[in-house]
Structure 1
């Protein structure tokens, strides 16, 4: 898929515009990386595409929000890195698929506030209580940008790789047809087990916990 098939010039109501693209060889096979910029802020979001997704139904898609602490620093406090790798592996083994990577660190509150929330969690708050103590909602992520990226790619419907029913609902509100859900891997360890249970019990995440022994 080349940028010639995408809308290089955004419409007046576009949230994002295509900025650049290139082939990207990865451990998961050859992908094509598309960088979209928000028209108002210039913030960049990425979608890595496997194969030809234009005009297809049931494309395997992961809509993933940035998590520097786990993906770069190896934090054990969440399962974001495992979910990212699991989805990339699944997409790499499929004929086609897409990984949408949104710059929405900390469920949308930003890295600095995420670390502030971690400090509160270290004193006993759960992930949602910490957000509220800082004056934020439980989840500030938005899905209109991901929806527009899928539209630009010409994807007709998706099989969404997620454990989060709210993500499915959020995308459907933005006009995305979610054909079915593909469960996402959630590995527990002594540092994230409470976090995973809280997501399951408080916000209905469809998590089947996989026990994993991890050194402290």
Structure 2
């Protein structure tokens, strides 16, 4: 299968329009972050940015672009590595004392919560994460990273040191004009439940994850 069959070109998607809503303090086990809320005009979805320290001073900011995963982030699912990556990213930002985590409401790599659960049902029957999405009529990854452009602009962030294992995420940001100065691996422990998922992301989606 070709690269184009995997990727939905971010450059061909309409530029996301977000409206800033409000900011508050968010105490966590690792630090007290500033939580910034944005509303997406086209969908009404609410996206979040968590910042720590002075992020608008022009120097590259330790960053994570995290797509929502209700099952992993809130329900402790071990089918994926999302919840563990979210926690690891916040810990790294807290340790550094400066950074940003963008929480994007793009559940299931953009297919939505119910369809993600339908994909899980297909995975229970033997499909991998890519095959399941395709069987439901979706691309393996349907996320639109243009969401981050107005969020970063509002926060005064011009360049990122990005925590990710996904080179496509860096490529998408580069197309959008976001300067990524460094990729920082965000590897978490494998479990008996997520090993096949991680192997599929490496083999079929190009993620930089060691077996």
Q: TM exceeds 0.5?
A: yes
State the Cα distance separating 1:25 from its structure 2 match.
Answer: 1.7
CA distance, structure 2, for counterparts of residue 14 and residue 69 of structure 1: 26
- Structure with higher helix content: 2
Instruction: Spell out the pairing of 1:54-133 with structure 2 (5 A cutoff).
Output: 54-133=56-135
What SS is found at the alignment partner of 2:96? coil
CA contact (8 A) 1:117 1:127 kept: yes
Report the counterpart of residue 162 of structure 2 in structure 1. Answer: 160
The 5-angstrom pairing of residues 144-183 of structure 1 reads 144-183=146-185
Is the CA contact 2:19–2:38 (under 8 Å) kept in the aligned structure 1?
Answer: yes
Q: CA RMSD in A?
A: 1.2
Please identify runs of 4+ aligned residues in structure 1 that moved more than 6 A.
Answer: none
Cα distance in 1, alignment partners of residues 86 and 31 from structure 2: 15
**Higher RCO (CA 8 Å, separation ≥ 6 residues):** 2
Unaligned runs of 5+ in 2: 1-14
Q: How far apart are 1:185 and its partner, in Å?
A: 2.1
Task: Tell me if the contact between 2:67 and 2:105 (Cα under 8 Å) persists in the aligned partners.
Answer: yes
SS where residue 187 of structure 2 aligns?
Answer: coil
Write the distance in 2 (CA, Å) between the matches of 1:40 and 1:107: 18
Partner Cα distance (1:99, 1:67) in 2? 14
SS of the residue 1:187 aligns to? coil
Question: What residue is the counterpart of 1:190 in the other structure?
Answer: 192
Q: Distance in 1 between matches of 2:77 and 2:121?
A: 14
- Provide the secondary structure at the position in 1 that maps to 2:204: helix
Match of 2:21 among 19, 22, 35: 19
Distance across 2 between alignment mates of 1:91 and 1:97: 5
Q: Distance in 2 between matches of 1:72 and 1:165?
A: 26
Displacement after TM superposition at 1:204 (Å): 1.3
Q: What TM-score results when the alignment is normalised by the length of structure 1? A: 0.88
TM-score scaled to structure 2, two decimals? 0.90
> Radius of gyration: which is bigger?
1
Structure 1 residue 14, shift from structure 2 partner:
6.5
Q: Alignment partner of 2:63: what SS?
A: strand
- Between the two proteins, the alignment pairs up a number of residues equal to 197
